[in-house]
Structure 1
C-alpha cells in the first residue's frame, strides 16, 4: 500500500440500494436488469479516478442474520424482501468488481459497516488515512483525525467538523444521538418522544447516554419543550435506549484474516470486464476498453447459429400461427421503439 494514498473502504450494500432506487431502471435488449450494476460500478470507477494509487476495498453485507437480529428480533424487519430485479444484479456487480482487480469482502454474521469499521480503526491506529465511501449516517461515528466520509452520490465529504456541522454533535456522540432518536431505516427504536432537537439539547449540555442516565434530574433544568417530564420518559424507556445504543454501534473488532494496511488492488482482467460490459450492454465502457488495447479477437464469445424467418404477409403469418398452435410451449417478444414502455411504439413481434 502507498503510505501517502488513503485506504478507501466502500460500503457496497449502501450504494447497491441507493443505485437501485435513485437511478432510472435499465435493462438489456434481452430484459436483464442492469441499473444497479451501472450505478454501483460508476461509483467505483469514480473512486478509482478520485483516489489514484489507493486500495479500493468494496464490502457487501452477507446473506442471513447478524448478531443484531439476535439482539432485537425486529431489527430491519420492516424492510420488504429484496426485489428480484435487484437480487439478479448482485452477482454481476461482484464479478465486475473482482474483474477490476479490487478486493471484495463479504463476512458472515456481521454487516458491511462492521467490516469497514474494523478495517478503518486498524488502519487509523497505524496513522494511515482512511476514506469511507458511503451514504449512511451511522458511519459518522467512525470519523476521526485519520478517517473521513465521502458520498459520491452527493459529492460531500465529512471530517470531524463536518460531522458536527451536519448532526450537531461530534463523532463520539453519534451513537448516543441514534440511541435517543432511533433510526427508522434500520428499525432502531430509540426513546419515544425524543426527536432531534430534544436529543441535541441533552447531548450538547449533558454529554452522552451514560451522563444523561447518571443524573436524570439535571434534564429538567434544560430549556426545551417537555424537559420537566423528560426524566420520567427516559427512565421508562432506559432499556430500549440501551438496546438502541447496542444496535447503532458499529463493531470495530470483527475477526478478519486480512491486514488493513496490506490490502492492494490487483491487475484488472480486461477480457472478463469486456465480456461483462458486453453482456450488460454498457457500450461506452466497452468502447473504452477496446481503445485501451483489449484485443477483441481474444474474447471467446462464439455466436450461436441463427435460423429465423421474416413474416411479411398474411399467408406466412397464418402458417406460423398454425405451428404455434401445435407447439407445446412457445415464447414471444415485442419489438418496440423504446425501452420505456410508457412511450414505446410496437413495431413487431418475435
Structure 2
C-alpha cells in the first residue's frame, strides 16, 4: 500500500481549442433528467478519484509509434505526458475539486483470481512503457502533493468504490475519472463519472485528454436500466475485456431485455423457463448456465465496503494542498522531462483559486 501526498494539452505540448476543459458539475450529455441531476450535484466538498491504470493505458495508446514523445536525454515521456495532461484537465474543472486521489492497482493477484482462475487471463502483459512510467509518475504525484493509493489483494475499482461510498456518506460529491464501463454500477445520487469523449467524426479535432461528465440519467437513457442493474447485465452477458464468462448465448441486448422484465439476476433465474428467446431459457435453466451467471456476478461486482486501513483513512487526508516545498522538486522533475507546458499549467494552478483558498 502507498498513500502519497501530495481537463488539456494536445500532441506536441501544443495548446488546445478554447472550451476543451469540461466542468466537474457542468453540461451533461443531453437529457433533461441528467440536467436536473447536474443541478443537484452542488456541494462545497468535491472529490475526484482517478483510475490510474486505465488512464495510463489511455495515455500510452493516445500516440502512434511515430509520434512518441522524448526529452532531450532520449527518454520516452509519452505516458507521463498523457497522464499529466488528463490530471491537469481534472484539476482545472469548475467548480474545482477539494479532494483528490489517484488509485493504482497493486501487483499480484486479487480475490477475484481466487474465485476464478481465468479472470483477466486473456490479457496481454502490461506494456513496458507503462511499467516504467508508474514509479516515475508516483514520484511526480508526491512532488505535487497529490494523494495516491494502492492496496494489495483487491483492484483499484474496489478502492474507488469504497472511497466513493464513504465520501457520499460524508456529503462529498464524487466524480470517478475512468473510461472503464465497470464503474457504471457506482452511479447514484452524489456519484458521477468523468469519461473520455466518443470517437470524433473524421476531420474533427478534439482534446484527446478531455473527460466529460456522465450521470445516472445518462446511463438510464443509454441502457434503459438503473445503474445498479449493470452488475447483473454483465453477469448475464459476460465481459470479454476481463474474461468474465457470462451465460453462453446471451448478449447485452438479451440481458438488458431480461432485466427490464425481471429486475435482477435472481429474478431472471427464478423465471428461467419463461425467458425469451428459447435458447436463453435453455441456458439459464441449465446448472452450468446458472453457475456461470452467479460466478460472473461475483466477479463484476465492485466492492464498496473494504475494511483495509488505507481505504478507511480520514477523507480529509485526500484534501488538495500545496506541496510543502512550494513545488520546487516538481519543477525540477518537469525540467528534466522537458514538460514546458505542464510547468506553466501547474504554476497557474498553484497561483489560482484552487490552491489559494487552501
For 2:71 and 2:77, locate their aligned partners in 1 and report how far apart those are by CA, in whole Å: 7
Distance 1:293 1:154, change over 3 A: closer
Shift of 1:261: 5.3
Q: Please list the CA deviations of residues 170-208 of structure 1 after superposition, one character each: whole Å capped at 9, or x if unmatched.
A: 111000001111111111111111112111110111111
- Asked if 1:17 is matched to 2:61, the reply is no
Kindly report which structure 2 residues correspond to 1:277-296, keeping only aligned pairs within 5 A, or say none. Answer: 277-286=334-343
Shift of 1:263: 2.5
State whether residues 55 and 102 of structure 1, in contact with CA within 8 Å, keep that contact through their aligned partners in structure 2: no
- The correspondence for 2:278, drawn from 222, 225, 228, is 228
Distance 1:282 1:3, change over 3 A: same
State whether residues 231 and 297 of structure 2, in contact with CA within 8 Å, keep that contact through their aligned partners in structure 1: yes
Kindly report which structure 2 residues correspond to 1:1-350, keeping only aligned pairs within 5 A, or say none. Answer: 4-24=44-64, 25-50=68-93, 51-152=95-196, 153=209, 155-220=211-276, 227-236=277-286, 237-255=289-307, 256-260=311-315, 263-268=318-323, 269=325, 270-286=327-343
Partner of 1:22: helix, strand, or coil?
coil
For 2:63 and 2:45, locate their aligned partners in 1 and report how far apart those are by CA, in whole Å: 31
Shift of 1:19: 1.0
Q: Please list the CA deviations of residues 325-346 of structure 1 after superposition, one character each: whole Å capped at 9, or x if unmatched.
A: xxxxxxxxxxxxxxxxxxxxxx
Partner of 1:59: helix, strand, or coil?
strand
For 1:291 and 1:173, locate their aligned partners in 2 and report how far apart those are by CA, in whole Å: 42
For 2:131 and 2:262, locate their aligned partners in 1 and report how far apart those are by CA, in whole Å: 45
For 2:188 and 2:97, locate their aligned partners in 1 and report how far apart those are by CA, in whole Å: 22
Q: TM-score, normalised by structure 1?
A: 0.77
Partner of 2:49: helix, strand, or coil?
strand
Distance 1:233 1:101, change over 3 A: same
Question: Which one is further off, 18-27 or 38-47?
Answer: 18-27
Partner of 1:185: helix, strand, or coil?
coil
For 2:50 and 2:104, locate their aligned partners in 1 and report how far apart those are by CA, in whole Å: 9
User: In terms of Rg, which structure is larger?
Assistant: 1
Q: Which runs of 5+ in 1 are unaligned?
A: 221-226, 295-350
Partner of 2:319: helix, strand, or coil?
coil
Q: Which runs of 5+ in 2 are unaligned?
A: 1-41, 197-208, 352-358
For 2:75 and 2:222, locate their aligned partners in 1 and report how far apart those are by CA, in whole Å: 39
Q: TM-score, normalised by structure 2?
A: 0.75
How much is the aligned-residue C-alpha RMSD, in angstroms? Answer: 2.2
Q: Please list the CA deviations of residues 227-275 of structure 1 after superposition, one character each: whole Å capped at 9, or x if unmatched.
A: 1232111133111111111110000111234033552123134111112
